[in-house]
Structure 1
Amino acid sequence: MQKIWQLNAYSNTFNDKAELLTSILTKRGLETEQEQNLFLNPKLENLSDPFLLPGMATAVERIKNAIQNNEKILLYGDYDVDGISSTAVLYHFMKNKYQIEVEYFLPDRIEDGYGLNSAALERIAEKGIDLVITVDCGITAFKEAERAVELGLDLIITDHHTPGPNLPAALAVINHHLVEIEDYFAAEIAGVGTAFKLAQALNDNKIDNYLLELLPLVALGTIADLVPLRYENRVLVKNGLNRIAASKNIGLQCLIAAAGKKADSLSAGQIAFQIAPPLNAAGRINTPRQALELLLTTDPVEAEALADELIMLNKERQAAEEVIFQQAESKLAKIDIQNSKSIILGDSRWHSGIIGIVASRLLEKYNLPVILAAFDKERGLAKASCRSIPALNIHQALEHCQSELVNFGGHKAAAGLTITIEKMPIFKEKFNQYLSQTLTEEDYLAITRADLNLKPDFLTKDVINELEKLQPFGIANPAPRFLFKDLTVKKAYQIGKEKKHLKFYTDSGLEAIAFNFKNKAALIREQVVDLVAQPEINSWQGKENIQLKINDLKLTKFSEVPLLFSRSNYKFYDLRNHENRKKLLISLLDSAVFKQAAVYINQKTKVEKLNSFYPDHYFFSNPTLKKTNSDLTFSHLIIYSLPFSVKQLIEIIKLYTEHKLSKEIKIIFMNSTAEISFNKKIIRHSFPAQKEIYQLLILLNQLLQSAGNKVVNKSEFYNHYLAADLINRKSSRFFKISLEILAENKLINLSEQQIKLVTELKKELDFERVIRYNKLSRRMEKFLHLEELIFQTNLFDLAEFVSNFKEDKNES
């Protein structure tokens, strides 16, 4: 098992498009009408008070004094889009609000490195600068802050990166992590968001044209830095996107045009993948000043030239990126990537400005934490970019290894570090040890998430347009994805210049496109598939049609990818009705994810055999542990066979929960509807039919009449029963049960050795009054209840039923 699909919620049907939208918002944590209205209508009046940020009042007072006293102010930025746009935001604000042109400094990625640099501060001091304001950097610059004091520089730090337990000795430190208010609205802002909060505070918390003109730049930096697009970030980005077309920023307008996009319909996705990369390219392989000058210039000719240069620079970056990616792949081909817990590689040929993008690509492909280092052999140093899987906070992992590092910084998903090359091996060992202590095998599984299940016939253009109200899409607010089940593919073929992509149509006439799925066409043609997809309206040659943009697909009855239903501490994995259950079970048992599974199989002979073949796992048919196995613990429960009743299902789950390794209850359902007839047959053969009991009574009557008395020896009658042709199904169990039922019906008296006929033979027996018979016959009724429960499509309901189960005394 290498990946899973996860369904956030299940619905049988939706009455209309508004109900669908509400359901998505609710499952994304927006439960009240007020929360949903704020999300759908993010207004600037909802922005948080900038003075909630510690240090803000001090910073505002110092900056206003500097302006009043004509002191020299310098903005110290960073070389990525967040740092560049942060610098541009405060530069434009100072110029428009106070009619002053502050100076700025952007570090060179190679020469200066990330963040505050003591040598740079010395050069800044020589220029007579009085006040330095950092944007998007400085939160870990302890030595540099001390050097600033020595140089007579006042220092204000604005940064959004994670601070340590101590703060640099600056005049003021503005960072949203320092706010101790619960549910702080601006708790996830980027560097440019932090810079905007400073401008907002300098503007006396008034939202006017001074700030409105900054919003397109704030949206640009926020989107580019991949922070969650919710709460304050959503307000900033939504309003920023709406103002891009009317923005007076000539450089931004020229860049949008050079990228072939339209400012009046620009999406967050287009900014992330078409507009931000050329700006980033400047800081990666050239100088970030080139990008900043584009965002600062008021000269249309200069802006157009700079935009074209950045587009060309980005193409160079893409070519260099591909070379590094292929070199990294060559290195990975020489290691056992299947059993690796991380990817940590370094090379002197690699550019430190490009390895971050390559790390992201490797993360997407292998779903492992990635650290790529560019070696500077002359200095004996390596600069590395880190990218992480969702289960790992990469910043905390680096904190664990900081004794081996020169420095590091970043946040949960991405970080950067500097290390001496000679310490790379010991760092790698220490980092992987931390992963072993922190992560489980299940944390490495790639997850494809779907908001809801949906039927194709519900999709209309109106429904898709309703979903557009959730824009802008990005981190923490992805475009809605839906689970579509049991679709038959009628036509499938490869498209694109290199035939990398897949186009297909379903039996319902729905059109779908899957990027980078070139090898799937023959596999899915004329097959029944499940899809996780994003519905969209595709415009082509003046025509519009509904299209599914595929995130992932699988063959319904052949895939080993489970569908996860997760509620509170219950995790139910759906692998029911697989076409080859035996092969699937072996694959699961061989997977490192299943450390020690408890496996329910209702056939004792198979249980014994499997326990000898797979000693690391525990197979059982009876949901009780022997004393010799009482200390066993289980990572998962696999219900391979179909139980016979709800009570038995609960007992199976109880056996596992009492011995589970983790707090979560992880159950894999592998049952098949093909088992239903087998279980019914077992149940029917577990007790005699009414006709068979009556036939036994006839046989007893015949024997007594031929002997001329009313009493017969039990063993003599049993032998007569076995020899008789009257009854087809015979067993000692049936014989015993039939006699007990007849005795309860007061037709015979039973003793240890004898059977005595009490009354004359009746044509009909009153089985309804016989408790023994009713208990046995209700087994089928109980099984039918289980069948309905365990094969329902919505396993959320099953999880709720199991968690709330109270035994019916009649089940006992």
Structure 2
Amino acid sequence: MKFKKWNIGAPAAADVDRLQSAGYPYLLSTVLAARGVTTAEDAAAALERERSLSLSPMLMQDMDKAVARIQRALSDGETIAVFGDYDVDGITSTVLLMDYLRRCGAHCLRYIPRRVEDGYGLSRDAIQSLRDRGATLMITVDCGITGNEEVDFAASLGMDVVVTDHHECKETLPAAVAVVDPHRPDCPYPFKHLAGVGVALKLVLALGGRSREEALFARYCTLAAIGTIADVMRMEGENRTIVYCGLKALPHTDFVGIHALLREAGLAGKPVSSIQIGFVLSPRINAAGRMGAADLAADLLETDDPARAEELARQLCQLNRERQMVEQAICADATEKIEHLPSEERSALVLSSEHWHQGVVGIVASRLSEKYACPSFMIHLKDGTGKGSCRSYGGFNLFAALESCSDLLEGFGGHELAAGFTIQESNIDAFRTRMNRYVRTASGGERPVASLDVDAAITSPAAVTLAEVEQLDQLEPYGSGNPRPVFALLGATVDSLQSVGQGKHLKLRLSKGATRFDAIFFSMTESECGVIAGMRVDAAFYLQANTFRGTTTLQLQLIDLRPSLTPSRHEAADLELIDRLVAGQTLTSQEKARLWASRGQFAACWTALERQLRQGKAEENALPFLRRLSVLSGGCESFLRSALALVVFQERGLISLNREGDRMRLCLNPTQGKVDLFACPYLSRLRPATGEPRGDRP
């Protein structure tokens, strides 16, 4: 069980029926209703995908100044430098703007910082080198909004700066010729969630003018889509349009490097959705920046030589494999450090090491935040200075948190969910203490738990077909604010399971009633999963079409698996019978005979109970506990007898059992001498049916 809490949506059956009556398929209707879309009119609006961007780029504050200065540079033949960031958003932004300027005949210089050597954002050394190479105008993409001192330095060298960015602004903006950022407090642009590449695209559309908007959007929408998906922007408004159009244009894009990367990643000729961009293509581009070779990815996207593109794509995929190995090592080291942290330092994980690769700590921070359900701050140390990357959890505002600790930092930048910072090693302990205190205060003192949002539980398993799953594509593109639908199957049975992929993954067969499903659980072993054939489970999953050897079938891609928290029909009947016994209600002779347990059966249950408590199973949901108790007490003991044993042990004072909702907490009580189990009044009511003699405590 990866998530301690499942938040399962419960769309009203009437809403689902209403949407189905309007012609929407069962699964799509279920997701829409779970997300508050309950009428045919609202569904049509929610599923509508624009084919063009309707907002004028000139609505952005300072866009007119940016256009005027860049057009003057183009007219005068100035050398223009494009300064980008080293992540996917920054790389695609840089390539997009460079391509446009070069096609306008400009002499351009490209500068993407090396993550380890240069760090994040603008730097004086980089600006000096660009000025030395003749640049008189520098345009930043996906960075620069917090580079006040660096912009002033550029001005002192006689270099103008146009800042385009999408990150949060500080109180004072850089003194640039133009500052184009939707997050400017005075920016009237109505859509605030563009990625850096979205802002760069808007700049190019403004430079080209209204007459060329359609052609320029067609050329650059795929680059913009990749950067937008990779930067996990809200998938609504203009972002939805950019990504939808970019994915549609992907097979026909003029950028040969994208085609080469698709082939190297095994996606050539296959349908590519936002999921493949986010989990297959983007990590390969991002690996270049993380491993200090962002220019390699930019070269790939810029080249028009197919042979060179193939070679660069191979190098990029190799870098990604290296990144994965480094990431695994750092994650293992960080996890070990966390195990030694006191509880008061686990509200926010602040970890540091001289041995961690600076380019990879950010992605490890993401994994730690998900695993431990809290914000994570990973710091690479070198010569007494730390370069940190942090990731949020549960909507926690990182930017505001870093601002509250700004006196301990050399600098910081980013946004609510992901950010970077620089800190002196001597300040890390104070930063850790203050950040943990800040998180506890922000959360009201309650520590969040790892939770999974599930759109809905499947109520009609037989209606889940491949055709139904394909209709879910109407919800694409997925992303922040429009996540991929997650479903649950409650009370399913594990028919079989086996390890696949050299033991790294788990393949299962699940059934619910007469309906059977194939399932795959990636990065999960049989021992970690903790389920066995025949076990009753709840499954949370994505639905997908799986093609193998030319045959396409329906498959559940498992996200989490837990012992079922819903009783079967037989379990519910057994528990109801126990409740009637305890309440003193009249039982038939057949019911009394079913309930009766022998001394040996009570002894087996007692042994199994002690074993569970030794394994730390003292607190959990009652149903899984009872099922496991039944299995451990010999396999032939019924669920009913296990439930009976618990109420008898409790009545006799052998155990304490407290319930809070579905969960129970159980512990053994100290006793002296033997305890007569069969003196229990519950068993006394059963004796006439059997004549079983009394017995002592097992």
User: TM (normalized to structure 1)?
Assistant: 0.66
Measured against aligned partners, the alpha-carbon deviations of 1:766-809 in whole angstroms (never above 9, x if no partner) come to: xxxxxxxxxxxxxxxxxxxxxxxxxxxxxxxxxxxxxxxxxxxx
Residues 1:535 and 2:543 are matched in the alignment = yes
- 2:145–2:165 contact (8 Å) kept in structure 1: yes
Partners in 2 of 1:32 and 1:119 — Cα distance?
Answer: 58
Within-5 A mapping of 1:88-237? 88-96=95-103, 98-178=104-184, 186-205=191-210, 206-237=212-243
Asked whether the 8 Å contact 1:502–1:521 carries over to 2, the reply is no
Please say if residues 75 and 87 of structure 1, whose CA atoms lie closer than 8 Å, have aligned partners that are also in contact: yes
Determine the C-alpha separation between the residues in 1 that align with 2:519 and 2:270: 28
Q: Structure 2 counterpart of 1:510, which letter? A: F
The 8 Å contact of residues 26 and 463 in structure 2, kept in 1 or not, is answered as: no
Q: Which of 57, 60, 85 is the equivalent residue of 1:78?
A: 85
- Alpha-carbon separation, structure 2, partners of 1:147 and 1:128: 16
Given that 1:76 and 1:133 are in contact with CA atoms closer than 8 Å, whether structure 2 keeps it comes out as: yes
| Alignment partner of 1:504 out of 494, 504, 509 | 509
Partner of 2:365: 359
Give the structure 1 partner of residue 601 of structure 2.
Answer: none
Provide closer, same or farther for how the CA distance between residues 174 and 8 of structure 1 changes in structure 2, counting only shifts above 3 A: farther
Q: 1:295 to 1:585 in 2, by over 3 A?
A: closer
**8 Å CA contact 2:505, 2:521 repeated in 1:** no
Q: Once the 2 structures are TM-superposed, how far is the Cα of residue 83 of structure 1 from its aligned partner?
A: 0.7
Distance 1:335 1:134, change over 3 A: same
Deviation at 1:384, TM superposition (A): 0.7
Q: Which amino acid aligns with 2:7?
A: Q
Verify the 8 A CA contact 1:394 1:415 in the aligned structure 2. Answer: yes
SS of 1:364's partner is helix
Q: What secondary structure does 2:547 align onto?
A: strand
- Give 1:274 shift: 2.1
Is residue 2:500 matched to residue 1:495?
yes
Matched residue, 1:624:
none
Cα contact 2:292–2:359 (8 A) shared by 1: no
SS in 1 for 2:304: coil
Whole-angstrom distance in 1 between the partners of 2:367 and 2:179: 34
Q: What does the per-residue CA deviation read over 1:76-99, in whole Å, with 9 as the maximum and x for residues that have no partner?
A: 111111111101011112223x23
Residue in structure 2 matching 1:478, options 476, 483, 504: 483
Residues 494 and 521 of structure 1 are in contact (CA less than 8 Å); yes or no, is this contact kept in structure 2? no
Mapped partners of 1:19, 1:240: distance in 2: 29
Query: What is the alpha-carbon distance in structure 1 between the residues aligned to residue 348 and residue 458 of structure 2?
Result: 36
Partner Cα distance (2:30, 2:54) in 1: 26
395 and 32 in structure 1: CA distance in 2 versus 1, 3 angstrom threshold: farther
After superposition, give the CA deviation of every residue in 1:336-369 in whole Å (9 maximum; x if it has no partner).
4697212211111111111111112222222221
Counterpart secondary structure, 2:194: coil
Q: Partner residue of 2:689? A: none
Alignment correspondent of 2:628: none
- Give the aligned partner of residue 789 of structure 1: none
Q: Distance in 2 between matches of 1:85 and 1:286?
A: 16
Distance 1:180 1:22 in 2: 41
> Of the candidates 344, 354, 365, which is equivalent to residue 348 of structure 1?
354
The offset of 1:588, in angstroms, is 8.3
SS at match of 2:167: coil
In structure 2, what is the Cα distance between the partners aligned to 1:29 and 1:64?
Answer: 47
1:273 deviates by: 2.2
Query: CA, structure 1 residues 403+522, in 2 after alignment: closer, same or farther (shift >3 Å)?
Result: closer
Instruction: Write the mapping of 1:517-536 to structure 2, written as runs, cut at 5 A.
Output: 517-518=524-525, 519=527, 523-536=531-544
- Aligned match of 2:555: 547
Which of 418, 425, 428 pairs up with 1:421? 425
Supply the AA of the counterpart residue of 1:409. G
Inter-CA distance 361–535: structure 2 relative to 1 (3 Å threshold):
same
- Mapped to 1, the partners of 2:280 and 2:154 lie a distance apart of 38
1:717-756 aligned within 5 A: none
Q: Give 1:431 deviation, angstroms.
A: 0.8
Give the letter aligned to residue 190 of structure 1. Answer: A
Match of 2:682 in 1: none
5+ unaligned residues in a row in structure 2: which ranges?
568-574, 580-608, 622-652, 665-698
SS where residue 374 of structure 1 aligns? strand
Structure 2 residue matching 1:474: 3-state secondary structure: coil
SS of 1:243's equivalent in the other structure is: helix
* Residue type at the aligned position of 1:466: Q
Matched-pair contact (CA < 8 Å) for 2:145–2:163: yes
- Residues 443 and 35 of structure 1: is their aligned pair in 2 closer, same or farther, counting only changes over 3 Å? farther
CA 1:543 to 1:303, structure 2 compared with 1: closer, same or farther past 3 Å? closer
Q: Which residue of 1 aligns with 2:335?
A: 329
Residue 742 of structure 1 is matched in structure 2 by none
Q: Measure the CA separation in 2 of the matches of 1:68 and 1:10.
A: 59
Tell me, yes or no, if structure 1 residue 283 matches structure 2 residue 289: yes
Q: Give CA-to-partner distance per residue, 1:390-413, whole Å, 9 cap, x none.
A: 241111111110110000011111
User: Letter of the aligned partner of 1:523 in structure 2?
Assistant: V
Q: Indicate yes or no: 2:441 matched with 1:437.
A: yes
Distance in 2 of aligned mates of 1:390 and 1:557:
25
| Aligned 8 A contact 1:78 1:107 in 2 | yes
Within 1, Cα distance between the matches of 2:182 and 2:498? 50
**Distance in 2 of aligned mates of 1:494 and 1:155:** 56
Alpha-carbon distance between aligned partners in 2 of 1:36 and 1:502, rounded to the nearest angstrom: 35
- 3-state SS, counterpart of residue 13 of structure 2: coil
Measure how far apart 1:25 and its partner are: 3.4
Aligned counterpart, 2:591? none
| 1:403–1:31 distance in 2 versus 1, CA, 3 Å | farther
Question: How many residues end up aligned between the 2 structures?
Answer: 577
Q: Give the conservation status (yes or no) of the 8 Å contact 1:228–1:474.
A: yes
> Please, what TM-score do these two structures have when normalized by structure 2?
0.77
**Rounded Cα–Cα distance in structure 1 between residues aligned with 2:405 and 2:561:** 39
- How far did 1:270 drift? 1.7
2:76 is matched with 69
Long gaps (5+) in structure 1: 560-575, 590-609, 620-637, 641-667, 672-812
In structure 2, the partner of 1:675 is: none
Deviating more after overlay: 122-131 vs 163-172: 122-131
Secondary structure of the structure 1 residue equivalent to 2:251: coil
Q: Does 1:461 align with 2:474?
A: no
Is contact 1:91-1:102 (8 Å) kept?
A: yes
SS of residue paired to 1:251: helix
Which residue of structure 1 lines up, in the alignment, with residue 316 of structure 2?
310
Maintained 8 Å contact 1:491/1:506:
no
Q: 1:452 aligns with which of 444, 453, 456?
A: 456
Matched residue SS, 1:78: coil
Distance 2:548 2:537 in 1: 26
Q: Which residue of 2 aligns with 1:389?
A: 393
Structure 2 residue aligned with 1:756: none
Tell me which of 19, 39, 59 is aligned to 2:66: 59
| Distance 1:212-1:385 versus aligned 2 partners, 3 A rule | same
Distance 1:190 1:326 in 2: 32
Is the 1:192–1:221 contact (alpha carbons within 8 Å) kept by the matching residues of 2? Answer: yes
SS of structure 2 residue aligned to 1:235: helix
Task: Determine if contact 2:93/2:224 at 8 Å carries over to the other structure.
Answer: yes
Distance 1:53 1:263 in 2: 38
Change in CA separation of 1:253 and 1:338 when aligned onto 2, cut-off 3 Å: farther
The Cα shift of 1:419 comes to 0.6
> In the alignment, is the contact (CA less than 8 A) between 1:393 and 1:412 conserved in 2?
yes
Secondary structure of the residue aligned to 1:523 is: coil
Give the secondary structure class of the aligned counterpart of 1:509. strand
1:276–1:92 Cα change, 3 Å: same
Aligned to 1:771: none
Question: Is contact 2:374-2:394 (8 Å) kept?
Answer: no
- The amino acid of 1:539's aligned partner reads T
CA distance change for structure 1 residues 34 and 240 in 2, over 3 Å: closer, same or farther? farther
| 1:714-769 deviation line (CA, Å, top 9, x unaligned) | xxxxxxxxxxxxxxxxxxxxxxxxxxxxxxxxxxxxxxxxxxxxxxxxxxxxxxxx
- Equivalent-residue separation in structure 1 for 2:270 and 2:190 (angstroms): 28
How many angstroms apart in 2 are the aligned matches of 1:551 and 1:441? 29
Q: Counterparts of 1:651-662 in structure 2 under 5 Å?
A: none
1:49 Cα deviation after fit: 1.6
